[in-house]
Structure 1
């Protein structure tokens, strides 16, 4: 069986298009990306260890991915239920709640990683 490299490259291109369609258009994603830049700059200045960078990177990825999932769910709900629907609103709220939980966990982890360097 022959591996289709072109198909694989198209998949990556579609994934990047999905990310870029949200950058600059989704306010919360923009906030998280700005926070990411600040965290990376602070981590560089504080000389985080390899393990600390791994934890910070996982937290950044978790929050950004959660925000992208949330954006996808919101767009899908808008297609399926274009008129206001209380259940559709709950679906959106639950997805936003998942992002909030990820962001809180990342924030707590950030405190655990950064505070010893700052103090």
Structure 2
């Protein structure tokens, strides 16, 4: 299959958005970690409405949710590529996958700190 460049700026953007939405849907419906994190995100949004958090708090909470889901998506992509390249266990592939998982850990810890800073004073 040969690559054909889309010469129209607008239709190219719509195609790109379609691919992105398709990828987000696949990520949200096939990856259990993303399902769990999405569920937590929904609970945090509900908590935001319940506690009537400020505009700034909404911005930080939204950024934290987006950060975790984005990094998890990149982690999933790294894992899928690594498994495709070397399906059997390999020490170096395991190292790469551990690093990607570590990035998710940092994002999740950042989101937890942001959540604590927003919600602990509300109790």
After TM superposition, the score normalised by the length of structure 1 is 0.94
Give the aligned length. Answer: 117
SS at match of 1:24: helix
- The alignment yields a C-alpha RMSD, in angstroms, of 1.1
1:36-94, Cα deviation, whole Å (9 max, x unpaired): 00000001000000000000000000000011000110111111112221110111111
- Aligned equivalent of 1:82, options 80, 84, 87: 87
Which runs of 5 or more structure 2 residues have no equivalent in the other structure? 1-6
Equivalent of residue 37 in structure 1, options 34, 42, 66: 42
Return the structure number with greater relative CO, CA threshold 8 A, min gap 6.
1
Aligned to 2:32: 27
Q: Which runs of 4+ in 1 moved over 3 A?
A: none
